[in-house]
Amino acid sequence: MVNETPGDAIRERLGQRGWTQSDLARLIDKTVAAVNEVIQGKRSITPDMAALLGAAFGDPPAYWLTLDAQNRAVSSDPAAEEVRRRVKLYELAPVREIERRGWIRRTDDALGLEQELKRFFGVSSLDDEPTIHVAMRRTDTGEPTSPAQRAWCFRARTIASTLRVKKFSGSALVDCAQRIRSLAAFPEESRKLSGVLADFGIRFVIVEPLAGSKIDGASLWLDESSPLIAVSVRYDRVDAFWHTVVHEFVHIRNRDAISVDVALAGDDQVPHAMKSGSERRADEGAADLLVPKEQLESFIVRVGPLYSKARIIQFANKVKMHPGIVVGQLQYRGELGYRLNREMLVKIRHIVTSVAVTDGWGNSLPAEF
């Protein structure tokens, strides 16, 4: 046991045997007060007490003397306590990186760092790990799986909480979906995305991913009538960007409580069959909204496996969608290799970040709002 005290060890052994402190005191011929003081850490274990405890519990006396000495060395060292405190805080978030990104202020001591993290997570105590859960009618589709992913989500949520949008209405999402689809056909139209989503009561922010997080996007709720779509644009490609945006939109349409999507797009994406039911539904809904499933499958039957650039562009024009998005879907289905038709997967980050609220790539927002 890490940092086990003699009191912890005695309590465990008493419990195993069904003894009370009075029973132990009687067995070793000590007062109950003396036993209690050892358990509470108010009295050191002497060689005599170590021999008695060893005889009672079947341990060598050296075990009790070593345990007592180690415990007192740790508890009496303020520097060690400071280290333990920092370790706990570093387990909650990637401290150095969020300091570098300006999400929290740099501090010189554990107390200052603790105050910064409480502010960042919006909690009064860090005794329990901060959660970004919002009560919804449906269960969560997934919680952040690492400190970096959780920190990214909190940052996105904090930024989004400052944005003003129109009143959200679930019944208007059919119209919203069509507006989104019309934007996806032309890269320059992505400038309008945040405005379109705001018109339907959906907040939209872009946050550069933290190192190693592989996070692509998230759909969150500030409350039950305030949805948020956050994306990282980890892959600067038209197909990855729009699949992520629409995937999160489908989660909102389905009233999923929270979705944090990792390896959603790009070469390292999670295979469809390995995803949960809600994630598969969001994937399928996003793909169908961008490129109608029946039309794509008909194209595959008629043309595959000989997908020339001309035929892809012709089909994309027919369904009124950017050819890079068609290429992305063919790649995901295994119809095209990931190295083919790369020129159609145009970059989009510089376009969308020029208008949407963005944190990253040299654009640093304040630590506090």
Q: What is the separation, in whole angstroms, between the first and last Cα of the chain?
A: 43
Across the range 235-252, mean pLDDT stands at 96
Lowest mean per-residue pLDDT among 130-144, 211-225, 236-250, 326-340: 130-144
Across the range 344-368, mean pLDDT stands at 93
Instruction: List the beta bridge partners of residue 197.
Output: none
Q: Is the pLDDT of residue 55 over 70?
A: yes
Q: In the structure, what pLDDT confidence band is assigned to residue 261 with cuts at 50, 70 and 90? A: confident
Residue 147 tokens, joined: 């400190």
Q: What is the pLDDT of residue 134?
A: 63
Q: Choose between 151 and 134: higher pLDDT.
A: 151
Lowest mean per-residue pLDDT among 2-16, 206-220, 257-271: 257-271
Query: What does 306-326 look like in DSSP terms, one character per residue?
Result: ---HHHHHHHHHHHTS-HHHH
Q: What is the pLDDT of residue 339?
A: 83
106-123 pLDDT, tens digit each: 998 889 999 999 999 999
Q: Is the pLDDT of residue 39 over 80?
A: yes
Across the range 340-344, mean pLDDT stands at 89
- Using an 8 Å Cβ cutoff, are 272 and 279 in contact? no
Q: In the structure, what pLDDT confidence band is assigned to residue 1 with cuts at 50, 70 and 90? A: very low
Question: What is the spatial distance between Cα 153 and Cα 334, in angstroms, rounded to a whole number?
Answer: 31
Q: In the structure, what pLDDT confidence band is assigned to residue 140 with cuts at 50, 70 and 90? A: very low
Q: Is the pLDDT of residue 74 over 70?
A: no
Q: What is the pLDDT of residue 139?
A: 41
Lowest mean per-residue pLDDT among 56-60, 117-121, 359-363, 364-368: 364-368
- Using an 8 Å Cβ cutoff, are 132 and 154 in contact? yes
- Pick from 134, 116, 109, 323: nearest CA to 221: 134
Across the range 171-188, mean pLDDT stands at 97
262-303 pLDDT, tens digit each: 877 766 777 776 777 888 999 999 999 999 999 999 999 999
Q: What is the pLDDT of residue 122?
A: 94
221 by DSSP, 3-state: which?
strand
User: CATH number of the domain at 6-75, please?
Assistant: 1.10.260.40
82-113 pLDDT, tens digit each: 777 888 999 999 999 999 999 999 998 889 99
Most confident range, picked from 5-9, 129-133, 254-258, 277-281: 5-9
- Using an 8 Å Cβ cutoff, are 220 and 153 in contact? yes
Q: What mean pLDDT, rounded, does the chain reach?
A: 90
Q: What is the pLDDT of residue 240?
A: 95
Kindly list the domain boundaries of the chain, sorted by start residue: 6-75, 78-121, 147-359
Question: What is the spatial distance between Cα 159 and Cα 366, in angstroms, rounded to a whole number?
Answer: 9
Q: In the structure, what pLDDT confidence band is assigned to residue 135 with cuts at 50, 70 and 90? A: low
Across the range 323-341, mean pLDDT stands at 92
Q: pTM, whole model, 2 decimals? A: 0.78
